[in-house]
Amino acid sequence: MNKYSEAMENIKVTDEMRSRILRNVALSLESGKDEAESETETEAEIEKEAEIKTEKEAEKETVRKTGETITANESADITEFRSIKKRRSGAWITPVALTAAAALILVIVRPWSGSSLMSANKGSSSFDAAMSEDASADYHYDSETAVAETTEDDSWDEDYPVYEDAMLEAEAEAAEEETKDNSEGIEGMVFDATEFPSVREMSDAIGFEVNDISEVPFEATEVIYRVISGKLAEIVYIGDGDKLTIRKSAGEEDNSGDYNEYTLDEPIEIEGNKIDILGFEEGYYLVTWYDGEYFHSIRSDSPQTADKMKEIISDLIKGE
Amino acid sequence: MDFNTRAEHFMDAYGNAILRLAYSYVHNMEDAEDVLQDTLIRVLQADPEFESEAHEKAYLLKTAANLAKNKIEYNKRRETDELNEELVSQEKEDLSFVWEAVKKLPDTSREVIHLFYEEGYQTSQIAEILGRNESTVRSDLKRGRERLKEILKEEYDFE
């Protein structure tokens, strides 16, 4: 396995990376929160992002003309788009749609000549630097070859449901081989999810009762009900830049998928359930408990007060 | 030691190790850098006291592993893998094969393989870093090695 270490030697902290990260760390500690994204974006990256958006608009139009994809830009079709997305079981991916998805993949995956770049949007990436003429010092792979990087973000996936579905299927198939030897339960499961239009249908499918909450701590514009790998029920409330995820599964294994080492842990009891509310200085992010039969978790992308978390827990438990 | 000095110390002493561990999970530089940055922030905010340099490093790697797993869990793993592209461009196909084979391992075996071979940790130390049972770590290491041999032999005709 010396070869593994030899391969890893290509991964190293460059001077530029070091300076940038230390600067971001200093800023974050000074302000008390992570401001890395807003502080280091350069004009060049803003221009590149605008370029990317223009390219995406052109590509959307190309896909639209195949007649098989409904884009989120078509406001009249958003409802239909969502209902189609929620009906998704793979059956509606027609051969023509898959061809469109394949064509999209070929368009998006740029050649390594570096003719275009979909850059990371956080700070001045070493790969953005690699695209410039004088990049070699910053490009840590000890190579003068410019490398284009494609990135996927969630909004892009939303605009291209066919691509997302095709990719999910491909990922699930590829990952199936990996999971054969991995019997470590929920932690080892790959992202194999089936969506449902309602919590009722999800509950029927998974075989146990799953509840909604009546109030979400932000304006939820979308709710997703899904069963992951046939064993984990998940409700995801999505708002503008925010997300709340509720999970329930049989057994006492932690299903949160959250491996943070939280510094705050407030144990409470609600209706006989011993519950942990976990977080950092700025607020609480995770709630977990085992009720003797099922493991429950609630994860918030944004920090919440302990009282807000308790409200959400009570809301959920009342529905049980 | 003030925060900035401490941050520089962590970066210089453990930056590569954290970056490589993160990369072994996320397979792309952007996310690996994010994990490195977030690890430094988290550890500096927590401001723990360390018994030794070994303890310090293990703590940082443990934090990095958790953050990297979060990245995978909540964001689908990206398809691009700059390391493989770079190895191929350098015509180091043998290293590329090994890296691609390691990538095919389940996450639990891969992280053990990385910490064992790249960082030189013993299984007891790996168990502590990953918060797992030592016997599980040993079996994941054994399974990882066996699987690697299969992959390298079958897919790459590699001995």
Structural domains present in chain B: 1-78 (1.10.1740), 81-159 (1.10.10.10)
Indicate if the pLDDT at residue B28 is higher than 80. yes
Q: Could you report the per-residue pLDDT of A149-178, keeping only the tens digit for each?
A: 333 444 433 444 444 454 454 444 444 444
Q: Could you report the per-residue pLDDT of A189-217, keeping only the tens digit for each?
A: 345 678 899 999 999 999 999 999 988 98
Task: Name which of B2, B5, B31, B41 to mutate to probe chain A: the one with the most chain A Cβ atoms within 10 A of its Cβ.
Answer: B41
Tokens of B116: 């064992």
The complex scores an ipTM of 0.85
CA B124 to chain A, closest CA, distance in angstroms equals: 19
pLDDT at A161: 42
Cβ(A29)–Cβ(B41) under 8 Å?
A: yes
Q: Which of A192, A171, A140, A302 is nearest to B78 (CA)?
A: A171
Query: Which residue among B30, B44, B105 places its CB closest to the CB of A151?
Result: B30
Q: Which residues span the domain enclosing A303? A: 191-318
- Identify the band that residue A112 occupies on the pLDDT scale cut at 50, 70 and 90: very low
Kindly compute the dihedral angle of the four CA atoms of residues A88, A92, A98, A101, in this order, to the nearest 10 degrees: -50
A186 within domain boundaries: no
Indicate if the pLDDT at residue B41 is higher than 70. yes
- Identify the band that residue A50 occupies on the pLDDT scale cut at 50, 70 and 90: low
Residues facing A270 on adjacent strands: A273
A251 within domain boundaries: yes
Residue of chain B with shortest Cα separation from A300:
B74
Please report the DSSP string for A123-175 in residue order.
SS-HHHHHHSTTGGGT-TTS-----------HHHHHH-HHHHHHHHHHHHHHH
Report the distance separating Cα A228 and Cα B73, nearest Å.
Answer: 13
A276 within domain boundaries: yes
CA A22 to chain B, closest CA, distance in angstroms equals: 7
Q: Could you report the per-residue pLDDT of A259-303, keeping only the tens digit for each?
A: 777 888 888 999 888 999 998 888 999 999 999 899 999 999 889
What integer best gives the mean pLDDT of chain B? 87
Overall number of domains in chain A: 1
Report the distance separating Cα A124 and Cα A34, nearest Å.
Answer: 16
Percentage of chain A surpassing pLDDT 90? 25
Cβ(A260)–Cβ(A286) under 8 Å?
A: yes
Report the distance separating Cα B36 and Cα A124, nearest Å.
Answer: 15
Tokens of A270: 């609600």
What integer best gives the mean pLDDT of chain A? 67
A249 within domain boundaries: yes
Report the distance separating Cα A208 and Cα A192, nearest Å.
Answer: 19
A66 within domain boundaries: no
The better pLDDT of the pair A24, A53 is held by: A24
Query: Which residue among A21, A143, A147 places its CB closest to the CB of B11?
Result: A21
List strands edge to edge, sheet with A283-290.
Answer: A193-196, A220-228, A232-239, A243-250, A294-304, A283-290, A273-280, A264-270
Contacting residues of B for A152, CB less than 8 Å apart: 76, 78-79
pLDDT at A145: 40
In this structure, chain B runs to a length of 159
Please report the DSSP string for B40-95 in residue order.
HHHHHHH----SSHHHHHHHHHHHHHHHHHHHHHHSPPPS--HHHHHHHHTT-HHH
A26 touches chain B (CB under 8 A): yes
* B79 phi, psi to nearest 5 deg: -80, -25
For chain A positions 142-171, those within 8 Å of chain B (CB to CB) are: 143, 145, 147, 149-152, 154, 171
Q: Which of A79, A244, A86, A247 is nearest to A165 (CA)?
A: A86
Query: Which residue among B19, B29, B108 places its CB closest to the CB of A127?
Result: B29
CA A12 to chain B, closest CA, distance in angstroms equals: 5
Instruction: Look at A50-54, A96-100, A222-226, A280-284 and tell me which has the smallest mean pLDDT.
Output: A96-100
Q: Could you report the per-residue pLDDT of B72-127, keeping only the tens digit for each?
A: 876 666 667 888 888 888 888 888 888 988 988 888 889 999 999 899 898 889 98
Cβ(A63)–Cβ(A71) under 8 Å?
A: yes
Residue of chain A with shortest Cα separation from B99:
A4
pLDDT at A30: 84
Cβ(A194)–Cβ(A226) under 8 Å?
A: yes
Report the distance separating Cα A287 and Cα A107, nearest Å.
Answer: 42
- Hey, is A231 helix, strand or coil? coil
Please report the DSSP string for B98-138 in residue order.
HHHHHHTS-HHHHHHHIIIIIS---HHHHHHHHT--HHHHH
Contacting residues of A for B28, CB less than 8 Å apart: 149
Report the distance separating Cα B48 and Cα B62, nearest Å.
Answer: 13
A71 within domain boundaries: no
The better pLDDT of the pair A141, A284 is held by: A284
Tokens of A206: 């998974």
Tokens of B11: 């970066």
CA angle (A10 as vertex; A4, A15 as ends), nearest 5: 145
Report the distance separating Cα B141 and Cα B129, nearest Å.
Answer: 15
A297 within domain boundaries: yes
Q: Do B11 and A22 touch (CB under 8 A)?
A: yes
Q: Do A21 and B79 touch (CB under 8 A)?
A: no
A314 within domain boundaries: yes
* B45 phi, psi to nearest 5 deg: -65, -40
Query: Which residue among A25, A127, A182 places its CB closest to the CB of B44?
Result: A25
- Identify the band that residue A124 occupies on the pLDDT scale cut at 50, 70 and 90: very low
What letter would DSSP give residue A253?
A: S
Q: Do A28 and B19 touch (CB under 8 A)?
A: no
Query: Which residue among B73, B83, B143 places its CB closest to the CB of A7?
Result: B83
Query: Which residue among A4, A8, A29 places its CB closest to the CB of B41?
Result: A29
The better pLDDT of the pair A289, A133 is held by: A289
Indicate if the pLDDT at residue B142 is higher than 80. yes
Indicate if the pLDDT at residue A244 is higher than 90. yes
Contacting residues of A for B92, CB less than 8 Å apart: 6-7
Cβ(A258)–Cβ(A297) under 8 Å?
A: yes
pLDDT at B33: 96
Indicate if the pLDDT at residue B144 is higher than 70. yes
Task: Name which of B6, B18, B20, B81 to mutate to probe chain A: the one with the most chain A Cβ atoms within 10 A of its Cβ.
Answer: B20
